[in-house]
Chain A
Amino acid sequence: ETGVTQTPRHLVMGMTNKKSLKCEQHLGHNAMYWYKQSAKKPLELMFVYSLEERVENNSVPSRFSPECPNSSHLFLHLHTLQPEDSALYLCASSQEVARWGGTDTQYFGPGTRLTVL
């Protein structure tokens, strides 16, 4: 877990608040990801960044706004969230986004447990 860190680990916010989740990877990877994990649902890919450029936005509502200032840091800015957005938000990184012959192993952070009241 020390390769990918996430802060905060727990966050409680009201629907009118603005907050940000932070992810940092110390592995020298070029790709970073945001996932949402809700109870009894498969892991949902939200955003993919490769070398600080967003390569995928998986139909995520605009109340979630990602930012990747450099290849080691990834943020998820949150505003006017809904109670159904409560979930575990996981950040991951991999060496590359894709290459011929398969997908790189992804290394996950511990997650931020978000509760929207």
Chain B
Amino acid sequence: SQQGEEDPQALSIQEGENATMNCSYKTSINNLQWYRQNSGRGLVHLILIRSNEREKHSGRLRVTLDTSKKSSSLLITASRAADTASYFCATDARRGSTLGRLYFGRGTQLTVWP
């Protein structure tokens, strides 16, 4: 089964509001990454957080990681209509010989209304 699971599956907010998406995973990881995908396009890397880090910031993005709960959250502050996209978390749990493989969740579809 897949490693990461995002929650909620869909999120709809107004411009200016904050958007929070969560990711849970099942096994130990080295790092966790968040990616963004505009409709029908490729994924764009947003941020990487290592297992020994608890929080990381990049512009309007804030990512937290709780390895004891095997969960991460992505917060987008002061959202804009251009933030409308699907957001995926990806982890790198090792399974047998698949060293370094990324496991993606199904994603959270964020819609930001003007």
Residues of A within 8 A of B (CB): 1, 4, 6, 40-43, 45, 48, 56, 88, 90, 92, 96-99, 101-111, 113
Contacts and interface: CB of A to CB of B under 8 A. Distances in A.
A45 B102 contact: yes
A111 B41 contact: yes
A75 B98 CA distance: 22
A46 to B, nearest CB: 12
Interface of B: 2, 30-31, 33, 35, 40-45, 48, 50-51, 88, 92, 98-106
Contacts of B44: 1, 108
Contacts, number: 68
A19 to B, nearest CB: 19
Residue among B40, B100, B101 with max Cβ neighbours from chain A (10 Å): B100
B101 A108 contact: no
